[in-house]
Amino acid sequence: MTSTPPPAVTAAVQRALDRHAQRPGALLPVLHAIHDELGHIPADGVPLIAAALKLSRAEVHGVVSYYPHFRGEPPGRHTVQVCRAEACQACGAEALLAHAERVLGCARHHTRADGAVTLEPVYCLGLCASSPAMRIDERLHARLTPERLEQLLAAALEVKP
């Protein structure tokens, strides 16, 4: 049993469907449009999407959960993305991500309890020649060290190490 979506969810889903439902392979464009607008794919929007595209709820849910890009929960007030793709891995990205978890007090793929920040591993930010890299909200940062990561987080998020 699912709850009735809030009006903002219904409206966002309807806008996405109005724009993309007639396209072949409409599901992904619809999901991207909703994600861009709301920052996540609300669970109570899934039945609306499924009904409009004549898919089962399980099919829609399967696509949402398959792609790490799609969040199922609203993000924190800030989003920190640490690249884990090949070039960054070769330059210490895993240790950097673990350091970010400690500094932020937040596990990867999660939002901190106070809602301040969501920490996400990502796969290439286009800064491979300047690895390791991360993004804090819309700003990209390269050639990171653990010390620089702490400074950037403290400055951008007012998060104390």
Residues that bind ligand FES (CB under 6 A): 83, 85-88, 124-128, 131, 133
Closer residue to ligand FES (CB): 109 or 143: 143
Closer residue to ligand FES (CB): 97 or 127: 127
Closer residue to ligand FES (CB): 83 or 106: 83
Closest separation in Å from C-beta 85 to ligand FES:
3
Contact assessment for residue 65 and residue 72, using Cβ atoms and an 8 Å cutoff? yes
Contact assessment for residue 142 and residue 128, using Cβ atoms and an 8 Å cutoff? no
Closest separation in Å from C-beta 118 to ligand FES:
19
Closest separation in Å from C-beta 125 to ligand FES:
4
Closest separation in Å from C-beta 92 to ligand FES:
11
Closer residue to ligand FES (CB): 111 or 131: 131
